[in-house]
Amino acid sequence: MEPLYTLRGVTKLFQRGPTTVRALDGIDLEIQPGQFVALEGPSGSGKTTLLQLLGALDRPTAGDVWFEGADLVGLPDHELAELRLRSFGFVFQQFNLIPTLTAVENVEVKLIPSGGDRARALQLLDEVGLAERADHLPAHLSGGEQQRVAIARALSVEPRVVLADEPTGNLDSATGGEIIDLLSKLADEHGSTVIVATHDSELAARAPQRLAMRDGRLVGNPAPAPA
Ligand SMILES: Nc1ncnc2c1ncn2[C@@H]1O[C@H](COP(=O)(O)OP(=O)(O)OP(=O)(O)O)[C@@H](O)[C@H]1O
Ligand SMILES: [Mg+2]
């Protein structure tokens, strides 16, 4: 089976005043389709930076990020934007719902480029257990409920990959566990690969695949031999 992602020598440098920060330092990695991967590591180890490259939100300083046979490094910006819209679903720590739209409208808004679809948005809310809350504004939903809406929104386009950056960071641990389990179940049903960044090793332990980062490198995961 062809890997979904193949990373070779991926390095990302940031300039902070006079110092160069090596956020990613020569990452070699393959991710297979259908996997549920936890990306764990302490603050500053490079988790968000790696997720941003996997989600075509940024480009590496050096190295290659292959996604389904295309090297993202060589794609023009408009093709990266297209990938972000159609192939990737994003879930963030802060939920990032639009405060003036109801739950169902927050999901529907993601479907606008493909014509919008209220019925489908409602069905997705039902899948995350929020059918009854469809007409509530985010301010009237709990953190866990808001994150469920964000998951419904991420899945609405049937993305190839869901990229979740500390999705439980603003939730208590019981709710956090429920969110991870829901993400895992739904991604399986929708055929999406999931990559979750977390510094919580208890949550990471729920994932069948774990990748550990330290100082911009993967640790304890020998890189597969180059093809
Ligand atoms: N835009 C940026 N400009 C400068 N430095 C950055 C930038 N983004 C990230 N860094 C630095 O790169 C390193 C990796 O950061 P990153 O956000 O990827 O870590 P993280 O593992 O996600 O941490 P956390 O658990 O706190 O979210 C850190 O030293 C960070 O300060
Ligand atoms: Mg981060």
Task: Give 179-223 as a DSSP string.
Answer: HHHHHHHHHHHHT-EEEEEES-HHHHTTSSEEEEEETTEEES-PP
Over range 98-107, report the average pLDDT.
Answer: 97
What pLDDT score was predicted for residue 221? 53
- Mean pLDDT within 35-53: 96
Does 48 contact ligand 1 (Cβ within 6 A)? yes
120-177 pLDDT, tens digit per residue, is 999 999 999 999 999 999 999 999 999 999 999 999 999 999 999 999 999 999 999 9
The answer to whether the CB of 49 is under 6 A from ligand 1 is: yes
Q: What is the mean pLDDT of residues 197-221?
A: 90
Looking at residue 225, what is its pLDDT?
44
- Name the 3-class secondary structure at 129: coil
Report how far ligand 2's centroid is from the alpha carbon of 203 (Å). Answer: 15
Predicted pLDDT of residue 227: 47
User: In this model, does residue 111 exceed pLDDT 80?
Assistant: yes
- Strands 193-198, 209-214: pairing is unpaired
Residue 166 Cα: closest atom of ligand 1: 27
Distance 67 CA to ligand 2 centre (A): 22
In this structure, which amino acid lies at residue 62? A
Residue type, 44: G
Would you say 171 and 180 are in contact if contact means Cβ atoms under 8 Å apart?
no
CB 196 within 8 A of CB 37: yes
Instruction: Compute CA distances 193 → 96, 126, 155, 165, 215, whole Å.
Output: 21, 21, 11, 14, 25
Cα–Cα dist 180/196, whole Å: 9
- What single-letter DSSP state applies at residue 89? E
- Reported as a pLDDT band with limits 50, 70 and 90, residue 181 is very high
Nearest to 135 by CA among 100, 98, 95, 103: 103
CATH code linked to domain 35-57+77-219: 3.40.50.300
- Taking the centre of ligand 2 as the mean of its atom positions, its distance from the CA of residue 98, in whole angstroms, is 22
pLDDT-derived band of residue 116, with 50, 70 and 90 as boundaries?
Answer: confident
- Residue having the nearest C-alpha atom to atom 25 of ligand 1: 43
pLDDT of residue 220: 79
- Pick the atom of ligand 1 nearest to 213's CA: 21
Q: How close is the Cα of 48 to the center of ligand 1, in Å?
A: 7
DSSP 134: T
Ligand 1 within 6 A of CB of 41: yes
Mean pLDDT of the chain: 93
Give pLDDT tens digits for 63-86. Answer: 999 999 999 999 999 999 999 999
d(CA 128, CA 148): 6
What global pTM score does this model have?
0.92
What percent of the chain is predicted at pLDDT more than 70?
97
State if residue 19 touches ligand 1 by the CB under 6 angstroms criterion.
Answer: no
**Ligand 1 atom with the shortest distance to the CA of 51:** 18
Given a cut of 60, whether residue 205 has pLDDT beyond it is: yes
- What is the C-alpha separation between 191 and 80, in angstroms, rounded? 22
Q: How far apart are CA 219 and CA 89, in angstroms?
A: 27
Q: How far is the CA of 199 from the centre of ligand 2 (A)?
A: 9
The three-point CA angle 89-94-96 to 5° equals: 55
Whether 222 has a pLDDT exceeding 70, the answer reads no
pLDDT at 102 > cutoff 50 = yes
198, 99, 200: which is closest to 141 by C-alpha?
99
